[in-house]
Amino acid sequence: MAIDRDDDAARREQDRDDTELMFLGVERQAEQVRAGKTTSRALVEAALRRIARSDPDLGAFRIVLADQALAEADARDAQESTGPLHGVPVAVKDELDVAGQVTTFGGAANRTPVSADSEAVRRLRAAGAVVIGKTAMPEFGQWPFTESAAYGRTLNPWDTTRTPGGSSGGSAAAVAAGMVPAALGGDGGGSIRIPAACCGLFGLKPQRGRVSTAPNPHLWYALGTVGPLTRTVRDSALLYDVLAGTTPTDRWSAGPGPAANGWVRALEAPPGRLRIGYSAKSAVPGVRPHPAHVEALLETVRALRELGHDVREVDPRYPDATAPFVAQFCGGVRAEAAAVQRPDLLERRTRTALALARLVPASAVERGIRAGERLAERADRMFTTMDLLLTPVIAERPRPAGALDGAGLLTAMVRSRPMVAYTALWNVTGHPAASVPAGVGADGLPLAVQLIGRRDDEVGVLRVAAQLEAVRPWAQHRPPLTAG
């Protein structure tokens, strides 16, 4: 029995060590590798143990690439440490290509592994990161809940009866639970910001065209962007230093970003006294925010005023983005369905969406894109009187898991409205927007607010988010499931 107790004590100590290592975050993990205090293999082994411990309860990963990740870690350890992400394990949402793996888009209709990494994954590896697995998503990323017929539900580490949001819910759950320090997601209607809000993470949707979608020319036409989910603002900036940039095959390219010194260095300059408008008003008529989200908004207003900003309530005249969003949604579903090998294996909801999407001609999709650009110009006028806009991220608290169970297309759309009511507009216009943690609610689930910036002003969003992080450091809050 003494041996059993000793083994149990050793396992608990290993769990604690793994937990602390994974919660160091991206920058500090890379620093420890560079300083020789740990190795890439040790980081990957700790991540794999965390995944083995936590993922059976969460379903964050569609596939774990244990052998490949260990081999990649050994290769990193045999190299001189140079990249900013050297040796750090990361996860990738299953709509992005990882060489040798099937890009499932969250469903069962794809069967053939891809031969090369997507450009975003290539950049991560070039910076020294180790890809440890691919994360779950709803089929084609259509829904703000991470549930699929092929792979089941992904659950929220803060409360495993609740959704982690979506569509990048697998990536969010993996980071929130301390299985990896960062994961790539995609945002076509809120799909980075919504799960970040549900899981207590920082998630910036960058300006359209900031990060390459290659080998694809676009992600849901003008709606989609690629970006990371992290626990801190600085880790997000570090990853954007790596990810930012496009290729000749990308249809969209953003305007100028930070100066040559990069995203992390840009955080070192204070933002100055900014004009920040705030509103609890939804961009979708009839959708009202939960009182806890209004209180989180007002608490953030108080914090920003104490930081010296000029913060005033505004009444935004949100343009109606329904038509351009629906046109591009249909175009995106049709484009991704055309890329799978077995369309007969698509979910019933997706087949219904695809049947409707086929009624929308390519010319209508292009008109939707042009209409979105006109809406962006109208949205720009909001920012003539303010530097940033502060709103809730989602209208309701995270729903119980199973939001899509038995739901047809119409029911799924109705259940999705409160989740996307504050986020989808900014995909249509392309503006940068971030989910910023704002504490934990009485129900034990995270709270968040959204910061929206002018076109191409991700740095303005990041700087104010970093100020908020400094006065209320959210990374100290960990889901109960992560206790070491």
Could you write out the DSSP letters of every residue in 46-101?
A: HHHHHHHHHHHHH--EEEE-HHHHHHHHHHHHTS---STTTT-EEEEETTS--TTS
Q: Is 435 annotated as catalytic?
A: no
How far apart (Å, rounded) are the C-alpha atoms in residues 54 and 223? 33
Report the number of distinct structural domains present in the chain.
1
Q: What is the CATH number of the domain that holds 312?
A: 3.90.1300.10
Which pLDDT score is estimated for 483?
54
Q: Which of 54, 118, 148, 167 is catalytic?
A: 167
Is 118 an annotated catalytic residue? no
Reduce the DSSP state of residue 394 to 3 states and report it: coil
- Annotated active-site residue 167? The verdict is yes
**Catalytic option among 93, 134, 205, 281:** 93
Catalytic-role residue among 191, 236, 416, 435: 191
Question: Which residues have a Cβ under 8 Å from the Cβ of 229 and sit 6 or more positions away?
Answer: 168, 171, 172, 175, 182, 183, 184, 185, 192, 195, 196, 199, 201, 202, 203
Within 10 Å of residue 408's Cβ, how many Cβ atoms? 11
Domain that holds residue 373: 2-482
Which pTM was predicted?
A: 0.97
- What is the 8-class DSSP label of residue 396? S
Closest CA to 100 of 116, 124, 119, 82: 116
Amino acid letter for position 118: S
Question: pLDDT below 70 — which residues of the chain?
Answer: 1-3, 259-260, 482-484
| pLDDT score recorded for residue 1 | 45
